[in-house]
Amino acid sequence: MPPDPMQPLSGGRHPLHQRQIDSYPAPFLGGWYAFAHDEELKPGGVIAFDIDGESLVAFRSKDSPNDVGVLDRHCPHLGADLSQGKVCGGSLECPFHQWQFGTDGCVTKVPYSAAPLKASLRARRWYATDFHGVFCVYIDGDPARRGQPPPYQLRRYPDVDSGDMVLRGRRDAGMLRLHIAELAENSADVAHFQYLHGHMTIPFTGIRVPGVTIHHDVLWFADPDQREFAGFRDVAVLEVGGRRLPFTTATAEVRFFGPGSVMQFGFAFPDLGELVLFQTHTPSDPADPMMHRVRFRWYASKRVPRALVSYVVGSWMAQLQADIDIWAAKRYRDKPMLMPEEHQLLEMRRWYRQFYPSHRTARHDAAVADELQVQPARAGWQPVVVDAEAVAPSS
Ligand code: FES
Ligand SMILES: [Fe+2]
């Protein structure tokens, strides 16, 4: 049976599991992490979740449905599980002694006490946001800095906010085993596009079309406006019998808002509008830091036909599955053996280092220093910032 691109992604487990984890610099990176979609956390709802050893509770205000609070899951009073509580107006009420907490963590009510509610009476709050229907929380890679305001915000998509683009689908792809760095590595690994993603397939089947290939022109870039953002632009064109067909040229752009926990895939349909798909990865198994829950949510301009949206989304999933099959069995190379044409991979790694907490990266830092020593011509190298608009489609 050919693979169905809309079926759950398959990550699987591998006998070399622990040795694979050990090959990466750190299992958890600081960033925004999705914990629920709009439909799962209604106004007045409460859910519990764990990320990187932190037990958290999220609740959504009844008074202001856009207001979502994320707090330490266990009550600062005497430790009850706040996820067993209920939402009263804009506060979360503990089930034990009925203290109430606002979305900012401050105690708003102690029903049996007349004492003033000092500012120090609070639960640890975590910064959360409603990102186009995906609730995300910021978790710093450094435990000592957790609970502080996030260093950056997710960038919203204006056409989704304005209503020009509407929700077309969402999908929980289940659990997938990968190190999140692979998503960024993949974006700058320009050589693999041709070999892993260079085949035309019949829509919704994964069956290759004989004689038809896809030529990719990929450029990785760091965002000039936001140091935590990067991405790549792929100008793809079909080739039939070795001949390029310029009228089939299509441009897609992928952006990373942080280390890969929140990604955005954008695709333009000439004369019709756009598609934007948000892909999130959240470590969701305390026993295995490489097990991620993967979710998608996508929006498109109203004029783009449903079948076209499904085809592009399905193709994105099928290409992702091809990567996953490689990631499931590979290891991370601190010092990869690269050809000169692969310099974007090193540029990406320099960009990516900002997400590794410094206390966990001694081995990785040493590897980067080594790399610079063995290639003195690149010792003065700085992250390359490319204006994405300057990358014109090939004709
Ligand atoms: S344990 Fe939560 S109010 Fe007492
Ligand atoms: Fe890939």
> What distance in angstroms lies between residue 48's CA and the mean position of ligand 1's atoms?
17
260/167 same-domain check: yes
pLDDT for the residue numbered 47 = 98
> What distance in angstroms lies between residue 109's CA and the mean position of ligand 2's atoms?
52
Which tokens in the block code for residue 16?
A: 């070399």
pLDDT for the residue numbered 8 = 53
pLDDT for the residue numbered 126 = 97
Beta carbon of 80 within 6 Å of any ligand 1 atom: yes
Only one residue has tokens 């798909």, namely: 277
Best residue among 72, 84, 86, 94 to mutate for probing ligand 1, ranked by most atoms within 8 Å of CB: 94
132/239 same-domain check: no
Only one residue has tokens 């809309």, namely: 6
pLDDT for the residue numbered 32 = 98
Tell me, yes or no, whether 312 lies in a domain.
yes
Beta carbon of 101 within 6 Å of any ligand 1 atom: no
Calpha distance 290→29 (Å, rounded): 11
Nearest to 291 by CA among 209, 176, 203, 190: 176
Tell me, yes or no, whether 8 lies in a domain.
no
93/193 same-domain check: no
pLDDT for the residue numbered 211 = 83
pLDDT for the residue numbered 241 = 82
Tell me, yes or no, whether 86 lies in a domain.
yes
Calpha distance 264→262 (Å, rounded): 7
247/335 same-domain check: yes
Q: What is the CATH number of the domain that holds 226?
A: 3.90.380.10
171/51 same-domain check: no
CA distances from 319 to 194, 201, 295, 322, 329 (A): 12, 10, 16, 5, 17
125/177 same-domain check: no
Angle at 136 between CA 313 and CA 150, to 5 degrees: 130
Low-confidence ranges of the chain (pLDDT < 50): 1-5, 12-13, 15, 359-365, 367-395
Beta carbon of 70 within 6 Å of any ligand 1 atom: no
- Which ligand is nearest the CA of 57, by number? 1
Atom of ligand 1 nearest to the CA of 82: 2
In this prediction the pTM is 0.86
CA distances from 114 to 110, 111, 118, 246, 323 (A): 8, 8, 12, 75, 60
Residues 6+ apart with CB under 8 A from 64: 90
Of all protein residues, the one whose alpha carbon is nearest to atom 1 of ligand 1 is 78
Tell me, yes or no, whether 178 lies in a domain.
yes
Angle between helices 181-188 and 343-352 (to 10 degrees): 150
225/352 same-domain check: yes
72/177 same-domain check: no
179/251 same-domain check: yes
> What distance in angstroms lies between residue 361's CA and the mean position of ligand 2's atoms?
26
Tell me, yes or no, whether 128 lies in a domain.
yes
Q: Could you list the residue range(s) of the whole structural domain that residue 61 is in?
A: 31-139
56/132 same-domain check: yes
Kindly report the three-state secondary structure assignment for every residue of the chain. CCCCCCCCCCCCCCCCHHHHHHCCCCCCCCEEEEEEEHHHCCCCCEEEEEECCEEEEEEECCCCCCCEEEEECECCCCCCEHHHCEEECCEEECCCCCCEECCCCEEEECCCCCCCCCCCCECCEECEEEECCEEEEEECCCHHHCCCCCCCCCCCCHHHHCCCEEEEEEEEEEEEECCCHHHHHHHHCHHHHHHHCCEEECCCCCCEEEEEEEEEEEEEEECCCCCCEEEEEEEEEEEECCEECHHHCEEEEEEEECCCCEEEEEEEECCCEEEEEEEEEEECCCCCCCEEEEEEEEEEECCCCHHHHHHHHHHHHHHHHHHHHHHCCCCCCCCCCCCHHHHHHHHHHHHHHHHCCHHHCHHHHHHHHHHHHHCHHHCCCCCCECCHHHCCCCC
pLDDT for the residue numbered 205 = 63
pLDDT for the residue numbered 376 = 30
Other CB atoms within 10 A of residue 205 CB: 15
Tell me, yes or no, whether 277 lies in a domain.
yes
Of all protein residues, the one whose alpha carbon is nearest to atom 4 of ligand 1 is 97
pLDDT for the residue numbered 68 = 96
Beta carbon of 77 within 6 Å of any ligand 1 atom: yes
113/244 same-domain check: no
337/201 same-domain check: yes
pLDDT for the residue numbered 203 = 59
> What distance in angstroms lies between residue 143's CA and the mean position of ligand 2's atoms?
32
Q: Are 189 and 207 spatial neighbours (Cβ–Cβ below 8 Å)? A: no
pLDDT for the residue numbered 393 = 27
pLDDT for the residue numbered 158 = 95
Tell me, yes or no, whether 109 lies in a domain.
yes
pLDDT for the residue numbered 319 = 86
In the chain, the number of structural domains is 2
pLDDT for the residue numbered 389 = 31
Q: What is the CATH number of the domain that holds 116?
A: 2.102.10.10
Tell me, yes or no, whether 24 lies in a domain.
no
pLDDT for the residue numbered 350 = 93
> What distance in angstroms lies between residue 100's CA and the mean position of ligand 2's atoms?
47
Q: What is the pLDDT of residues 198-218, one digit of tens each?
A: 887 765 566 778 888 888 888
Average pLDDT for the chain:
85
